[in-house]
Chain A
Amino acid sequence: DIVMTQSPDSLAVSLGERATLNCKSSQSLFYSSNNKDYLAWYQHKPGQPPRLLIYWASIRDSGVPDRFSGSGSGSDFTLTISSLQAEDVAIYYCQQYYTSPRITFGQGTRLEIK
């Protein structure tokens, strides 16, 4: 199975500042036949179901604020929140689907307000 490793495990950022969350896969998630990276990002708040933010590494899902952006390719990916809002406090997970149906998640990054 592909192992997804997120860093840092937790992150504290001031309101209005940029938050950068990283995700590294144990093998490339890039499929050359369609030029796509098979990676998604989710936001998970306590007591709520996970919310899809990003798929194909950089495509925002409908309704996701544009302060959220995904970047990277191959084995290294980044979720950036350009200006942190109070409602962004959550745990963020990356997920690979390159080996779908055997998908795997990262261990999560806990994002807090400094």
Chain B
Amino acid sequence: EVQVLESGGELVKPGGSLRLSCAASGFTVSSYGMSWVRQAPGKGLEWVSGISSSGGNTYYADSVRGRFTLFRDTSTNTLYLQMNSLRAEDTAIYYCAKDRRATAGPPYYFDSWGQGTLVTVSS
């Protein structure tokens, strides 16, 4: 069964750092594009970052570029999101999502999502 499981969310002060993890099972992250999508309280879905199936390309929304870094460990089949210089507006549930297509290139649409992990940025 295909599953992704996020972890690492917690309360952090503005300017702080956090690393989110996304453990994949039932598929290999090196075969699919993956993304992080977040939902701020009372808001809709916002794409944050993505990685191509090859792992050679990473992509970021303007709102997080330069502060967030996405990388993966194929030996543990895990995706990570390193979040630095956190701001109050980064407060959200962060979802890890798998592209439906096993193709090269950036992710398009997502057929497997985790339950999400809550990041709260507050003093």
Contact = CB atoms under 8 A, between A and B. Distances in A.
Given A52-B109, A55-B100, A105 B95 contact: no
A51 B47 CA distance: 15
A55 B50 CA distance: 18
B109 A97 contact: yes
Interface residues of B, number: 24
Interface residues of A, number: 24
Interface string A26-56: 0000000000001010101000111110010
B89 interface: no
B45 A93 contact: yes
Given A49-B95, A50-B113, A105-B46, A100 B100 contact: no
A61 B50 CA distance: 22
B100 A61 contact: yes
Contacts of B47: 102-105
B108 to A, nearest CB: 4
B56 to A, nearest CB: 13
Interface of A: 38, 40, 42, 44, 48-52, 55, 61, 91, 93, 95, 97, 100-108
Interface of B: 35, 37, 44-47, 50, 57, 59, 61, 95, 97, 100, 105-111, 113-116
